[in-house]
Amino acid sequence: MKILYITCILFAFFAQSVVSTSKDYQKLNVDYFNRARNQFAANLPVANMNELEYDEALEKTFSSCQTAQKEAENDNRVIMFRSDSVTEISFDREGEAQKLVNDNHVNALLYKLIFHSQITSVGCVQLDMECAYPGPGHNTPDVWRTTGMCFFDGPENAKIPDNFKRGKPATQCPNGRSEKYKNLCKTSKSSSGSLVSPAHILIAAVFIMITFYF
């Protein structure tokens, strides 16, 4: 009975905090970011822009929209967005990537999160309920509320020029060129999310409770 009680607590937590995503949804997101990074690397140009891999562990980075909302105000690894208004990011004109690097307006800062050259993985979730974007505009209409979140690995407050190596795309790649994107570097398979999941912490706590309780 005691074990059943503790197990029910654990399942209740996961029912609220962990939302599984389909392989199609995972592929849709990682391909979207890699297409944008591929164009950015060609336009600037960047010699060491990594290809992103999908990391399911990053889906569990935050336990709720409210937690992510708070973290997104100060953490460059968090992106919140409205799924039905996402458009393709392209750099068709010469100098567009450099223009983005120099732009410090709010919308530009959001896009900049995607183009840090040395991040290697991303994980995304869909929200069951809409949630306000972080910052002062919490009372915005529903059309401006987020329905999805993505989390990147890497430094908390990295700026996109920090690790740029300018030059011909994919010519300074420790693991070689990406097989799918000609302007990106292949990522080491050993990479993984650097943020600690609250879910993982809870699992450890539950097992500690069981050990001492019995």
The whole-model pTM stands at 0.74
Q: Is pLDDT of 28 > 90?
A: yes
Confidence of residue 31 (pLDDT cuts 50, 70, 90): very high
| Ordered domains of the chain (ranges, CATH) | 19-212 (3.40.33.10)
CA-nearest of 113, 116, 123, 114 to 28 is 123
pLDDT digits (tens, 9 = 90+) for 151-166: 999 776 666 777 889 9
pLDDT digits (tens, 9 = 90+) for 167-209: 999 999 999 999 999 999 998 754 444 443 444 333 333 333 3
Q: What is the chain's mean pLDDT, rounded? A: 75
Q: How many helices, marked H, and strands, marked E, lie in the chain?
A: 6, 4
Contacts of residue 94, Cβ cutoff 8 Å, sequence gap at least 6: 43
